[in-house]
A and B are shown apart, each in its own frame.
Chain A
């Protein structure tokens, strides 16, 4: 009686979330898959024809944006690791009693809406903004120097918006390292650089891995930063999908692109997991 109860308990716990996922994830996915294989227009309606050519057409029409998105996503991720690691390292090893306050500061931007934050970046980076106009007046930069509308602005915005997602998992991984393990490395003749390379970094890898997952995927499919901070030269695939859905009402193309993006990202993530050899990493990350 009790055993039986114990056996069902986990399933009961999963049930609410499971139902939620089924209704709001699985069902829309199936609907979208079907939509991507339909033909028609918004006026006359869409019907299912199994027209898979939408995929090939969409890919060839928007491959530039797909590539660009992946590259922006990748650059963003690399920059994030470079920026977030020292921050996380500092908080974990030198934060002392102020750890909580530092983490709060990292999270502080979350208290402002994503779009609003990005728009305020636009105010900062604009040609007449507080950053560029003094520099131009001082003659440091030329009249034709812009930041807004460039890939730099878009990637900058992405980095800014996703920074906490990289800092937190790396912090958690570093925080879990037993300080005595670090001392053991020092005791065994490792200088600070070697200690970092052979002990601290490998032990922080699960955090980096989690951080990459949490930033590369949303950064690659982001549609806000390029919209607000970029130009037509920086259009990302997320923007295209949004435009196809909302502006052009080309649901099949938008759906097909969504699936392509999802597939590319999934393949990317799994390859990445494979290369890092990562059953271990996955296991550690899951702990």
Chain B
């Protein structure tokens, strides 16, 4: 089935799973025409999503994540490049002929059909036998815990239930991939967290590739196998939640995923794979440096707030091998399990520090206190290396 040309394409791209990736983008571009001007929505994108993966497209609104998903579904066609599903070129194939299904943001249930009819819609189009439809609808309704709701119309159901119908309506077709467009956006926090867990469970049960579009970084981190962080039509970073959190590839990613402290400075010297950025005689940032880093280079360094230790008085001796920044506490916010400090540092940047409230209850610093921030070298991360 695969054309020689395509095999070549596949060989070039890094497939995360054996065999053809469930979804693959090769050199995909998407421009919109707005007021006679060409606006790029997705810029030259290569992407491979593995079989059975829970893959998230994460980014702020307008970053191109929804357009990317709609190109997988077939609602948008790339301006240039190709889209493959299970190794088959589906570029130019209309949505109704693509073996992927979508869970829409507002569910988009058919208002004139009841639960059963909604869920059976796709199977009927595929001319599946009536008895088989009945069996499969019953089965999927059980998976999404909606047994007994067959006769309800969408209007008669809560948001959470409608969400499940939308999920069942897509999954019952056993698509090659399930596309979810901010599916939990309309639910309240509690239901949302419950559905996150449930979605993971369902994905494990059915073993289908999930592509999940969200602007909620917490959601993406907790649910995904891998995340593509998008900004302005470009995938800024693609990796596991841990990679993305621990080693953000760009300033944007560092800022968008969780909270990051970012300092920049010039390299004073490189020693044993570590670069040293000095600000004063005592204030320095130590960061694992790439081979290419030379003395005098300008670096951007990101440090997660929970990795930092905050000391009143003089920093303890054992921390002196790592980074040390002195500063003044400008804000203290008590959060129960932790206390968040804002510290104006000698490096010029304001730092956020999450301090676990373990046992050192009297260790709390006050606003205006002079403090030292220390962290181990491996917790500094050079952005964009």
Contact = CB atoms under 8 A, between A and B. Distances in A.
Interface of A: 178, 180-181, 183-191, 194-195, 198-199, 202-203
B121 interface: yes
Contact of B125 (A181, A188, A202, A203): A188
B106 A185 contact: no
| 7 residue pairs, one from A and one from B, having the closest CB atoms | A188-B122, A189-B125, A180-B108, A184-B108, A186-B95, A181-B108, A187-B102
A194 B126 CA distance: 12
Contacts, number: 62
B96 A184 contact: no
B96 A199 contact: no
Contact of A187 (B73, B105, B109, B111): B73
B101 A187 contact: yes
Given A181-B111, A183-B75, A203-B111, A188 B173 contact: yes
15 contacts: A178-B106, A181-B109, A183-B95, A183-B102, A184-B104, A184-B110, A185-B110, A186-B96, A187-B75, A187-B100, A187-B101, A189-B97, A189-B173, A190-B125, A194-B125
B324 to A, nearest CB: 54
B105 A180 contact: yes
Contacts of B79: none
A185 B104 contact: no
B94 interface: yes
Interface string B147-185: 000000000000000000000011001000000000000
B96 A187 contact: yes
B94 A186 contact: yes
A190 B97 CA distance: 9
Query: Which residue, of B100, B111, B173, has the highest number of chain A Cβ atoms within 10 A?
Result: B111
A1 B384 CA distance: 70
A191 B96 contact: yes
Contacts of B102: 183-184, 187
Interface residues of B, number: 25
B190 interface: no
A72 to B, nearest CB: 32
Contact of A183 (B97, B104, B121): B104
Contacts of B101: 187-188
A202 B111 CA distance: 10
B95 A187 contact: yes
Contacts of B94: 186
Given A181-B111, A203-B112, 9 more contacts: A180-B105, A183-B75, A184-B169, A187-B102, A188-B96, A188-B122, A188-B170, A189-B96, A189-B122
B106 A180 contact: yes
Contact of B108 (A178, A189, A190, A195): A178
A237 to B, nearest CB: 37
A178 B112 CA distance: 12
A135 to B, nearest CB: 44
Interface in B63-82: 73-75
A184 B107 CA distance: 9
A185 B173 CA distance: 13
Nearest to B121: A188
A178 B126 CA distance: 24
Contacts of A194: 125
A191 B74 CA distance: 13
Nearest to B99: A189
B196 to A, nearest CB: 22
Nearest to A180: B108
A272 B101 CA distance: 38
Contacts of B97: 189
Given A180-B104, A184-B102, A190 B112 contact: no
A199 B125 CA distance: 13
A188 B100 CA distance: 9
Contacts of A181: 108-111
A92 to B, nearest CB: 16
Contacts of B122: 188-189
Contacts of B108: 178, 180-181, 183-184
Contacts of B170: 187-188
A275 B122 CA distance: 28
